[in-house]
Structure 1
Amino acid sequence: MEEHKENIQVIDVNAKMSNAKEEEKEKPCSRICPDAESAPQTPPSQSNSDFSHPVYKEIALANGHINRMSKEELRIKLSELKLDTRGVKDVMKKRLKSHYKKQKLMQSAAEGGPTDTYYDYICVVDFEATCEEDNPSDFLHEIIEFPMALINTHTLQIVDTFQAYVKPELNPQLSDFCIKLTGITQVGRHNLCVKALKKVSKIVDEADPFPEVLRQVVAWLQERELGTKYKYAILTDGAWDMSKFLNIQCRISRIRYPQFAKKWINIRKSYGNFYKVPRAQTKLSTMLEKLGMKYEGRPHCGLDDSRNIARIAVRMLQDGCQLRVNERMHGGQLLSVPSSGPVEGAPPPHNPHSRD
């Protein structure tokens, strides 16, 4: 639902977007992936004196040289280093800077100097939900697909996926627009046939209700020892999945909002801050294009969307971005997580609790 999310009108269910404009106002977070063109800021795990280390002067000098390189010079140097040569000039420039930064910090770490840290795993979530072409102001979106793609940040690979359909409670009959948008039943040249419509109805009708699907999600996360043995974080394409869809769904299902989903990485914020591009250039299709990649699979299929978002996240990690939690839910409100905060992983997942 990536292209449709920004047009969705949602009733206020104590999920007031009090800081909706905060994302646009937020300055690029150089602390996440400091660009040594300017004086580096202090990360939460280091003291001010750490940046007096000579390694940061070396990084700054390398960045200055890279800034003066042409696109062809960047491509040649990346090729020599056996790095990806795809993407626009700014992406290649950032990739080369991050490579040198990573090499210098690895050498520094071996000598007892500063280094970077990552989550062990990042779990990408991209819900599909019920919708209408012109959503009335009181329309409540229900999750109909719960997909996840799991990234191992050490191997930089998508190592596992999860997918479950969900039976909606308030609007069990999907609208034609919703079916077309999700792509679940698209056939031929974007035409829908009666047989296809019946197929989707069967999938939805035979699916488990949301509380049961959430239990399956929790079991899947627990089996992979996320939050216990391994440090992990949730990642989404924007703020809507958690602050709107999951928040509303939990109220409809009369269960409490899960603790493990109260903080997440908004990849649009991370992408914009890291590559220093405006919000208008952080849509899924645009991010893929700017990174020299193409969408793989069927657009608006939640699992395929999750996989493609994960591909962007992997590329950003390869380019040296330390993806970290930057948004959270608190008291039913969407808030930004300051970059000065500690890099915390999501808590161990637990089965849903009733609101009654």
Structure 2
Amino acid sequence: MIQNDEKVEYPWDCVLCSQQNAYFLRKCQHCGTVKQQFCQQMKFDYLQNDNQAFSEINIIDFECNRVEDRREILELLICKLKLSESDYKVVFSKQLIIKPYLIPLIQNPEYSSITQEQADQGVPFQQTFQYLSGDIYIFENNEKAKIYQEQCQYLNLQCPITKYIELRRVFPNSNGLLTLNAMMKELKIPYQSDCFALAEVVSELLERAYKFELNMLQTLKFPIPEEEARLQGFDNIIILDFEATCVRESDKKYLQEIIEFPAQVYNVQERKVKKEFQKYIKPVENPILSDFCTELTGITQQQVDEGILLDQAINEFIEFKQGLQKCCILTCGDYDLHLLKKEAARKGIPISRELQYYINIKKVFPKSLRNPKDPKDPCMVEMLKLCGLDLLGRHHSGIDDVKNITRIVHYLINEKNFQFDERMVSYTFKL
């Protein structure tokens, strides 16, 4: 519970004794009166938060064995809390060592508390499903939920979890970026090496009358093995990279327009480029290119003056990609298709959904190839370097950038046995 010296944030005033109480408390800590008002600055409405509460919560955390960018759960922690109107209690808590399947040997044993012998005698991952039941599951963050899901997929198991709450995202009065240690510090929970830290955080929130609700739920995209057929990878990858009008000075009011629409189709089975598309687009909102734009992209005024309009280019691109089976657009960043969506909206051009989902190669570029000292996603030039490839052609020429991104795709598929599949897809629209 709240300590006497704890700072009171987002307070509410008791209607009986007028004393201030912290937002977490449902009753006045001075006279016991039930909370009657709340501060609107909090992310979650208190009155709504007082309804539709879950009666049982499963808290899941784990440690992984790792080889490059592959992870396998080695130690699984499960805690089950039973909730009532006035109290909650731990009805189950278990620590399970999982027998390795994907990565037989423990990596970096000097940093692991689990020995190889313990791991070899561990339980199969699927046996842990028997301990899961109840209304909702809580993971520390989305990354952990996805790792759990991936393990089910690797083992061809039906994932027992389809919906969950990401504690980091719903933690009160936070920006959704807190680590587990930061949450413990925020709640003034002392660290103990033998404690189940995630359960300690959830328990403390419940002590403070915090509730977990239906509107906090998130869904795992592919929770059942029947979806595995959809995860065999794309047959054709359409590499796309727009160039747009621009000015040297930063100007938020300046409306960018696409002026080069290039693409290549890379066939995964044949391991080569099958088709190429390139059109110059005539801008209408800012018809005269700036000197900076020509200097950056190499695109001339004459090329855009002789170009076609955006809606015609979109129609020709749709025709270009007709007949391609199991295909997906791939871009180097989120910029390209978001730019298309904004410009099309301004100009009243309809955009089909097939032009609103894509793979951002920056996000899926393998961790094993990245610079471990640089947490940022690599740009195209950095990815080329990390793949041992030189930059060819002119950077910021749309068609040359497309060719260089295609070379990165080719390297990942051929040299790293990399698979581009639906788990990597991003969207410019809400599903």
Task: State the AA in 1 paired with 2:342.
Answer: I
Task: State the AA in 1 paired with 2:305.
Answer: D
Which one has a larger percent helix, Structure 1 or Structure 2?
A: 1
Q: Structure 1 residues 141, 266: CA separation in 2 closer, same or farther (over 3 Å shift)?
A: same
The structure showing larger relative contact order (alpha-carbon pairs under 8 Å, at least 6 residues apart) is 1
Q: Deviations over 1:310-353 (max 9, x none)?
A: 1111211221222233311125xxx9xxxxxxxxxxxxxxxxxx
Structure 1 position 292 matched with structure 2 position 388 = yes
Q: Structure 1 residues 202, 273: CA separation in 2 closer, same or farther (over 3 Å shift)?
A: same
Alignment length (residue pairs): 220
CA contact 1:131–1:178 (8 Å) conserved in 2: yes
Deviation at 1:253, TM superposition (A): 2.5
- Matched residue, 2:207: none
Task: State the AA in 2 paired with 1:262.
Answer: Q
CA contact 1:141–1:248 (8 Å) conserved in 2: no
Deviation at 1:237, TM superposition (A): 0.3
Q: Distance in 1 between matches of 2:69 and 2:365?
A: 14
5+ long unaligned stretches in structure 2 = 1-63, 75-97, 109-153, 155-227
Q: Structure 1 residues 273, 173: CA separation in 2 closer, same or farther (over 3 Å shift)?
A: same
Larger Rg, first or second structure (1 or 2): 2
Which one has a larger percent strand, Structure 1 or Structure 2?
A: 2
Q: Deviations over 1:167-215 (max 9, x none)?
A: 001011000000001023xxxxxxxxxxxxxxx2221111111001111
CA contact 2:69–2:366 (8 Å) conserved in 1: no
Which of the numbers 418, 422, 425 marks the counterpart of 1:321? Answer: 418
**Structure 1 length normalisation: TM-score?**
0.56
Q: Deviations over 1:52-100 (max 9, x none)?
A: 896x256x68x88xxxxxxxxxxxxxxxxxxxxxxxxxxxxxxxxxxxx
- Matched residue, 1:265: 359
Structure 1 position 216 matched with structure 2 position 316 = yes
Runs of 4+ in 1 over 6 A off after TM superposition: none
CA contact 1:150–1:158 (8 Å) conserved in 2: yes
Equivalence map 1:142-157=2 (5 Å): 142-157=257-272
Q: Structure 1 residues 273, 247: CA separation in 2 closer, same or farther (over 3 Å shift)?
A: farther
Aligned-CA RMSD value: 3.1
Q: Distance in 2 between matches of 1:313 and 1:202?
A: 33
Task: State the AA in 2 paired with 1:309.
Answer: I
CA contact 1:298–1:304 (8 Å) conserved in 2: yes
SS in 1 for 2:321: helix
Which of the numbers 286, 306, 317 marks the counterpart of 1:171? Answer: 286
Structure 1 position 128 matched with structure 2 position 243 = yes
Q: Distance in 1 between matches of 2:352 and 2:368?
A: 29
**Structure 2 length normalisation: TM-score?**
0.46
- Matched residue, 1:255: 349
Q: Distance in 1 between matches of 2:370 and 2:286?
A: 41
Q: Distance in 1 between matches of 2:376 and 2:366?
A: 9
5+ long unaligned stretches in structure 1 = 1-29, 41-50, 65-104, 106-113, 185-199, 336-356
Q: Deviations over 1:255-282 (max 9, x none)?
A: 1233112111000001154635445461
Percent identity, aligned pairs only, is 30
Q: Distance in 1 between matches of 2:99 and 2:234?
A: 26
- Matched residue, 2:32: none
Equivalence map 1:67-86=2 (5 Å): none
